[in-house]
Amino acid sequence: MTELIETQGEEPERVVLVGVQLRSADAWTVQDHLSELGQLVQTAGGLVVAQEIVKRDRPTAPYFIGKGKVEDLRLICEAERADTVVFDEELAPAQERNLEREVKRKIISRTGLILDIFAQRAQTREAKLQVELAQHQYMLPRLRGLWTHLERQPGGIGTRGPGETQIEVDRRRVREQIQRLTNEIGAVRRSRATQRKARARHDVRTVAIIGYTNAGKSTLLNRLTGADAFVEDKVFATLDPTTRKLEIPSGRAVLFSDTVGFIRKLPHMLVDAFKATFEETLEADLLLHVLDISHPAADEQAEAVAAVLKELGAEEKPIVTALNKTDRIEHPEIAGRWVRQLGHAVPVSAKHGTGLRELLDLIEAQFATEMLTATYRVPQSESRLVARLHAEGHVLSTKWENNSALVTVELRRERAAAFERFLVKTDSP
């Protein structure tokens, strides 16, 4: 994979950014995306030396941009002594090869850049496995570009026969690696599923903290729980999930899990490779969306989060929004607008700790709508159900009378159906 790592004592890689303004896009959006791409380059350790916005009605097959703009790009790279060109688009492998041939510089797309950052920042074995899988999936269709020198080798004696060419060997090896990594990640997912079942048996509620990259998720987790999750003012500061326990105002223990940040144009292969991590989102009882309302593109970032949730199949999950970084907004009515727009939302400042009690109250209220308090009469002959009520709910009292147990328990509504024939009364609507 391409590396944009700034090593000690060496000059950072000099990078030219390219954005493409198609007919359907406005100039501000393209510039905002390009600014975000610059942040990604900085996170990867590169130095942005120039940027270029190309206007086109539609992409071209050979280069994505026009032939004349390709020549302009070559001249910019020469003038700025650039090493690399990063496109804020998903280039086809053939387009990357064509551009590299004409511009005579390394060409990578937004996806390749994000993969590089993930590779640098992955710490746990799980995250490294997932990044490696995504890299191999990304590399497979690009192998031909790495072996163009073989195409110039002469044929004839010694070159014919049923043996594999080097590119075929490499493709087979990459496919084998993809299968191996897929199997290892499958084992991780099964381990996580076992852990989730154990939590469910003990009726531990879970909250997945989601949001756009650099929205303040790790800062909020640290502020709420006293965790020491890594925090840095860069995109994708967190790749490895951190889970901490917290007692909400009612005294109930809840597990809060930080997750990898979402981003616009998040590569599909990363969503697929990181399914084991994103399963914390899929299986959580509640999603806590951290939204940076001080960002000028907050609306678009919220839409990007919604798009990733939809891709994961988690769009119907109950969600509470922490309207973060209120310390950076000039007009309080901005927060009010978001509260009216989203409903279950609370203005907070994770940095300064304001609004957190109100946020926890809202989380508790959300959980309360999914709970009921009920009293069951369990005959002595069915005493095993008393143990099951203890396992699946929070037993408030148990009283034995006339060879039966009166058990008052708080439990999730969906679990109550299993005990319905023993129901005496319910205290919840």
Highest mean pLDDT among 50-59, 196-205, 237-246: 50-59
Q: What are the φ and ψ backbone dihedral angles of 74, each rounded to 5 degrees? A: -60, -40
Question: What does the CA dihedral 172, 175, 177, 180 come to, rounded to 10 degrees?
Answer: -120
Read off the tokens for 404: 């039966």
Provide the β-strand partners of residue 106: 84
pLDDT for 115 equals 84
Cα–Cα dist 30/34, whole Å: 6
Read off the tokens for 260: 């990898």
Q: pLDDT band for 182, please (50, 70, 90 cuts).
A: confident
Q: Please provide the average confidence, as pLDDT, over all residues in the chain.
A: 81
Q: Is 326 left (phi over 0), alpha (psi -120 to 50) or beta?
A: alpha
Please give the share of the chain, as a percent, with pLDDT higher than 90.
31
Cα–Cα dist 272/424, whole Å: 47
Q: pLDDT band for 37, please (50, 70, 90 cuts).
A: very high
**For residues 326 and 347, is the Cβ–Cβ distance under 8 A?**
yes
Q: pLDDT band for 146, please (50, 70, 90 cuts).
A: low
The SS3 of residue 227 is coil
pLDDT for 234 equals 54
Provide the β-strand partners of residue 86: 17, 108
Q: Is the pLDDT of residue 169 over 80?
A: no
N- to C-terminal Cα separation, the chain: 57
> Other C-beta atoms within 10 Å of 395: how many?
15
The SS3 of residue 254 is strand
Cα–Cα dist 124/116, whole Å: 16
Q: pLDDT band for 68, please (50, 70, 90 cuts).
A: very high
Q: pLDDT band for 395, please (50, 70, 90 cuts).
A: confident
pLDDT for 277 equals 59
pLDDT for 160 equals 38
The string of pLDDT tens digits covering residues 370-385 is 778 889 999 988 878 8
The string of pLDDT tens digits covering residues 250-300 is 777 888 988 777 888 777 766 766 665 566 667 788 999 999 999 988 999
Q: pLDDT band for 131, please (50, 70, 90 cuts).
A: confident
pLDDT for 71 equals 95
Q: Is the pLDDT of residue 178 over 70?
A: yes
DSSP state of 250: T
DSSP state of 124: S
**For residues 210 and 217, is the Cβ–Cβ distance under 8 A?**
yes
Considering only residues 39 and 8, tell me which one the structure prediction assigns the higher pLDDT: 39
Q: Where are the beta strands (DSSP E) in 259-403?
A: 286-292, 319-324, 345-347, 371-379, 394-401
The string of pLDDT tens digits covering residues 219-254 is 999 899 886 655 555 555 555 567 888 888 877 788
Cβ burial of 66 (10 Å; 0-12, 13-18, 19+) is middle
The SS3 of residue 242 is coil
Q: Is the pLDDT of residue 366 over 60?
A: yes
Please give the share of the chain, as a percent, with pLDDT higher than 70.
81
Tell me whether strands 106-109 and 84-87 are parallel, antiparallel or unpaired.
parallel
Cα–Cα dist 110/114, whole Å: 6
**For residues 195 and 241, is the Cβ–Cβ distance under 8 A?**
no
Q: Which of 153-157, 392-396, 406-410 bottoms out in mean pLDDT, i.e. has the lowest?
A: 153-157
pLDDT for 293 equals 96
